[in-house]
Every structure is written in structure tokens, then in C-alpha cells.
């Protein structure tokens, strides 16, 4: 069974940093597109970032320069380092597998981890 | 980045009625568009891929159409379990983007 499990969320002050983790099982992060998608309270989905084979990386304009996505293949884990956090970064952060073959879409979602940016 | 505009924001309908949801892209995405269904407290679930292909587990009352910049999700006859929020996502250009969502609520 393919599973993504997020961790690392919590309460952080504006301007602070946090690192989220996404541990994968049933798939290998190095051969898949692994994304972060967030959802602010009562709001819609916002695509944040992706990492894929060959060190392909992309970011949403809203987080470029503040967030960094990376992976540790030995731990089969993807990370999202979030710096210079702001109130509008408050959200549930989902780790997700982007599939670009048959069933072109996000076909696996984690349960989400909550990030709250507040003083 | 490509902006997706969904309309209406809220659709108030009764079970058995037809729901028509729209997603418009700021530039062509060909047919590289997906739809997701999200229920309260749950992660989204892939519903439609490549604009018109139904994902595993969803019944035939769900259908998608469109190409280029204009897309439609249709639910032919609403069942109680269909009341949810629906999002479109373009998968043509990085960064990938989502629409703002349409909430289908029970009248």
C-alpha cells in the first residue's frame, strides 16, 4: 500500500522557521514526483512545491525564496524547509504524489500536518 | 503562472438535480486538467484526469469535458454523498495551480 505520512507541523512565530517531513512507503521518492499542497483554514487548495528525479524542483510564486524542498533517499523522505514564515502560511500542509502517467493527477495524499504562524 | 477561475463559488442544489461546474484557465492547458472532490476533514480525492477521464471509484454520473481554456464538470443527478467542494488543477505548466473551488451544497 502506498502511504505518505507528514510530520513537523506546529506553532511558530512570524519570521520563524519550520521543517516538515513526508515519509513515503510503498513508493520511492527518487522515482516519483512528490509535492506539497497546502490549505489555509476555510480556504481552497494551494500547490506549493514539487521535487522529482534529476533534482527537478519547482515552487509556487508565493513561497519562492522562502521555502526549500529536498529529499533524503536513504530515509525515503521529502522535506519542506520553511523560512521567514508569515501569517498567511498558516495551513494544513499535505504531502502528495503527482502521477503523470495514466490517471494524470495527484493520486496519493497524506493526512496533512498543521502549521500555525502566530505570535 | 496559470490562473484557474472556478464558477460559481457555491452551487445550491437538491438531490437528483444536475450540477454544472466551470473552470477557466488564463491560458491554454490543452486537456491537462484534473478535478478533485474534497469532503470536510478529508484530503482531496482525484475525480477526473486529462479533462474527461473518470478516476477509479467514481460513478458514471460524474463527467468532465473541455479543452484549451474552458472546462466543465457535470454531475448528472446529485446523490447525497456528492455534496462537497470540487477543485480543478492544471497540469500543463509549472508551477501547477488549483482553482479556488466550487462548493456544492444541499438546498
Identify the band that residue B31 occupies on the pLDDT scale cut at 50, 70 and 90: very high
CB atoms within 10 A of CB A32: 19
Q: Chain B, 2-31: which have a CB under 8 Å from a chain A CB?
A: none
**Predicted confidence (pLDDT) per residue in A43-83, tens digit:** 999 999 999 988 799 999 999 999 999 999 999 999 999 99
Model confidence at B24: pLDDT above 90: yes
Model confidence at A102: pLDDT above 90: no
Extended strands (E) in A17-104? 18-25, 33-39, 45-52, 56-59, 67-72, 77-82, 91-99
Considering only alpha carbons, which residue of chain B is nearest residue A100?
A: B91
DSSP codes of every residue in chain B: ---EEEE-SEEEE-TTS-EEEEEEESS--TT-EEEEEE-TTS--EEEEETTTEEPTT--TTEEEEEETTEEEEEESS--GGG-EEEEEEE-SSSSPEE---EEEEE-
pLDDT of residue A68: 98
Chain B: give the shortest CA distance to residue A45, in Å: 6
Which of A58, A107, A111 is facing B95, going by the closest CB pair?
A58
Query: Contact A104/B100, CB-based, under 8 Å?
Result: no
Best residue in A48, A105, A110 to probe B by mutation, most B CBs within 10 Å? A105
Chain A: give the shortest CA distance to residue B26, in Å: 16
Could you tell me if A88 lies within 8 Å of chain B, comparing CB atoms? Answer: no
Whole-Å CA distances, A111 to A22, B26, B94: 10, 31, 24
State the Rg of chain B over Cα: 13
Instruction: Calculate what percentage of chain A has a pLDDT beyond 70.
Output: 100
Contacts of A106 in chain B (CB under 8 A): 34, 36, 44, 46, 89
Identify the band that residue A14 occupies on the pLDDT scale cut at 50, 70 and 90: very high
Query: Contact B94/A103, CB-based, under 8 Å?
Result: no
Instruction: Calculate what percentage of chain A has a pLDDT beyond 90.
Output: 93
Could you tell me if B101 lies within 8 Å of chain A, comparing CB atoms? Answer: yes
Which of B50, B53, B87 is facing A45, going by the closest CB pair?
B87
Identify the band that residue A10 occupies on the pLDDT scale cut at 50, 70 and 90: very high
Identify the band that residue A111 occupies on the pLDDT scale cut at 50, 70 and 90: very high
Best residue in B36, B87, B96 to probe A by mutation, most A CBs within 10 Å? B96
Amino acid at each position: 500500500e502506498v502511504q505518505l505520512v507528514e510530520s513537523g507541523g506546529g506553532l511558530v512565530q512570524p519570521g520563524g522557521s519550520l521543517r516538515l517531513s513526508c515519509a513515503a512507503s510503498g513508493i520511492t521518492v527518487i522515482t516519483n514526483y512528490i509535492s506539497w499542497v497546502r490549505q489555509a483554514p476555510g480556504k481552497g487548495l494551494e500547490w506549493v512545491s514539487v521535487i522529482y528525479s534529476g533534482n527537478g524542483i519547482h515552487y509556487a510564486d508565493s513561497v519562492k525564496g522562502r521555502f526549500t524542498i529536498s529529499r533524503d533517499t536513504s530515509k525515503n523522505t521529502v522535506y519542506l524547509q520553511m523560512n521567514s514564515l508569515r501569517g498567511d502560511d498558516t495551513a494544513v500542509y499535505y504531502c502528495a504524489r503527482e502521477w503523470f502517467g495514466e490517471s494524470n493527477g495527484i493520486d496519493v495524499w497524506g493526512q496533512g500536518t498543521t502549521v500555525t504562524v502566530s505570535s | 503562472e496559470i490562473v484557474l477561475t472556478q464558477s460559481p463559488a457555491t452551487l445550491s442544489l437538491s438531490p437528483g438535480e444536475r450540477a454544472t461546474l466551470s473552470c477557466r484557465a488564463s491560458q491554454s492547458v490543452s486537456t491537462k486538467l484534473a478535478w478533485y472532490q474534497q469532503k470536510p476533514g478529508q484530503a482531496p480525492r482525484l475525480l477526473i484526469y486529462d479533462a474527461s477521464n473518470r478516476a477509479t471509484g467514481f460513478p458514471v454520473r460524474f463527467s468532465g469535458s473541455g479543452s484549451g481554456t474552458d472546462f466543465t464538470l457535470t454531475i448528472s443527478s446529485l446523490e447525497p454523498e456528492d455534496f462537497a467542494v470540487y477543485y480543478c488543477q492544471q497540469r500543463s505548466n509549472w508551477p501547477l495551480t488549483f482553482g479556488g473551488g466550487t462548493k456544492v451544497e444541499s438546498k
